[in-house]
């Protein structure tokens, strides 16, 4: 199968692209590579990748593909809050336009990176894919809007699938330190304090980045009737945690660390648990390999091997919002997050 992977240079994409290759498929990337200076360790897969903003995709880029896996977009709530209008333009409008171009080009499968953030403030009940949407951030709202618009496009020639990922964690060449598990381990490793920014009571479904990648491959290879216009919560039902319980596991793994709270730490409105039975029953190749404890051990070992300083992950080197703000300030990015002409990369091959 020939696959176009948008966001191939991101946190999930840099893990997913080599896994697609290992399965014997052909994969091309599409990514504006805003975080080219944010590789923590390892190398990105050497695949043909078009350096272009997802808002500026042209019809010719979609020609000849059997499937699109669409990961590209503003990836977290601080970036979404930075300019909610940009979240609308990049995460919603550009995603719908990409799907329209894909459909016109004859692309059969369209796998969309949705999120369990669509459930938002939902309390402690386990939510399956039929649960009501209740997003509390521009990021979560954008995922709801795209799901609805892509569903309206579905027909015999175009088959969208919605992968609603739990909160990700784990090692990637382009690791994100704003994700709760990664962040807590980084704080513990660099300072000895497991720094909670909420009161620790919110529930989160958690899933390793490699298991997310496996979910995409499982959906890609499944019979199309098994995934046509269907949503899947990505994760394992047993891997729902309160944040304070994650902090306790971190304290057990990282020697000498202890739990601490940020000034003013209080309840987080994002509070939900998800039921992942559908993906376990219907996508037979999806067999998750990771638990939160194993992921914390992986992160700690990587930080020991490669080193990490507080100013790295809390500063502009790896912190997504700080990195973007620096690029805008130094003129390498326009305020709309497009590259300036001086830093615009050429469309071409390689990583």
Neighbours of 348 (CB within 10 A): 9
138 pLDDT above the threshold of 90: no
For 182-193, the pLDDT digits (tens) are 999 999 999 999
Query: What's the pLDDT at 199?
Result: 85
SS3 for the chain is CEEEEECCCCCCHHHHHHHHHHCCCEEEEECCCCCCCCCCCCCCCCCEEECCCHHHCCHHHHCCCCEEEECCCCCCHHHHHHCHHHHHHHHHHHHHHHHHHHHHCCCCEEEEEEEHHHCCEEEEEEECCCCCCCCCCHHHHHHHHHHHHHHHHCECCEEEEEEEECEEECCCCCCCCCCHHHHHHHHHHHHCEEEEEECCCCEEEEEEHHHHHHHHHHHHHCCHHHHCCEEEEECCHHHEEEHHHHHHHHHHHCCCCEEEEEEEEECCCCEEEECCHHHHHHCCCCCCCCCHHHHHHHHHHHHHHHCCCHHHHHCCCCCHHHHHHHHHHCCCECCCCCECCCCCCCCEECC
For 300-333, the pLDDT digits (tens) are 999 999 999 999 999 988 888 889 999 999 999 9
Average pLDDT for 57-73: 97
Average pLDDT for 282-296: 97
Residue 91 lies in a domain: yes
CATH of the domain at 9: 3.40.50.720
Residue 135 lies in a domain: yes
Domain count of the fold of the chain: 1
- The domain in which residue 239 lies consists of 2-175+204-244+274-290+321-349
Residue 51 lies in a domain: yes
Residue 194 lies in a domain: no
For 203-212, the pLDDT digits (tens) are 999 999 999 9
Q: Nearest Cα to 207, choosing from 148, 150, 163?
A: 163
Query: What's the pLDDT at 346?
Result: 40
Q: Nearest Cα to 316, choosing from 299, 328, 331?
A: 328
Residue 225 lies in a domain: yes
Residue 235 lies in a domain: yes
pTM comes to 0.94
Average pLDDT for 141-148: 96
Confidence grade of residue 120 (pLDDT, cut at 50, 70, 90) = confident
Residue 6 lies in a domain: yes
Residue 219 lies in a domain: yes
Give exposure, 192-201, as e/b (b: 16+ Cβ within 10 Å).
Answer: eebbbbbebe
Cα–Cα–Cα angle for 155, 161, 164, rounded to 5 degrees: 150
345 pLDDT above the threshold of 60: no
Q: Nearest Cα to 234, choosing from 206, 254, 255?
A: 206
């Amino acid at each position: 199968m020939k696959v176009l992977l948008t966001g191939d240079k991101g946190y999930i994409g840099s893990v997913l692209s080599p896994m697609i290759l290992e399965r014997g498929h052909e994969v091309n990337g599409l990514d504006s590579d805003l975080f080219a200076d944010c590789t923590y360790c390892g190398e990105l897969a050497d695949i043909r990748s078009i350096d272009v903003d997802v808002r500026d995709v042209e019809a010719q880029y979609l020609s000849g593909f059997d499937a699109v896996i669409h990961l590209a977009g503003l990836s977290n709530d601080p970036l979404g809050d930075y300019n909610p209008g940009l979240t609308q333009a990049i995460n919603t409008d550009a995603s719908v336009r990409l799907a329209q171009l894909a459909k016109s080009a004859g692309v059969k499968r369209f796998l969309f990176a949705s999120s369990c953030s669509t459930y938002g403030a939902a309390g402690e009940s386990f939510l399956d894919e039929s649960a009501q949407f209740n997003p509390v951030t521009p990021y979560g709202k954008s995922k709801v809007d795209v799901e609805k618009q892509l569903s309206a496009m579905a027909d015999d020639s175009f088959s969208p699938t919605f992968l609603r990922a739990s909160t990700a964690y784990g090692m990637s060449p382009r690791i994100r330190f704003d994700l709760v598990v990664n962040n807590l381990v980084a704080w513990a490793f660099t300072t000895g304090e497991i720094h909670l920014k909420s009161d620790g009571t919110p529930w989160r479904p958690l899933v390793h980045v490699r298991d997310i990648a496996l979910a995409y491959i499982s959906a890609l290879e499944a019979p199309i009737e098994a995934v046509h216009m269907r949503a899947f919560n990505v994760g394992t039902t047993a891997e729902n945690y309160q944040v304070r319980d994650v902090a306790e596991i971190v304290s057990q793994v990282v020697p000498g660390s202890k739990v601490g709270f940020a000034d003013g730490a209080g309840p987080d409105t994002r509070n939900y648990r998800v039921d992942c039975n559908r993906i376990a029953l219907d996508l037979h190749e999806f067999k998750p390999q990771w638990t939160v404890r194993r992921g914390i051990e992986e992160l700690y070992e990587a930080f020991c091997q490669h080193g990490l300083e507080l100013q790295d992950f809390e500063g502009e080197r790896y912190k997504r919002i700080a990195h973007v703000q620096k690029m805008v300030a130094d003129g390498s990015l326009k305020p709309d997050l497009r590259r300036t002409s001086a830093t615009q990369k050429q469309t071409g091959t390689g990583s």
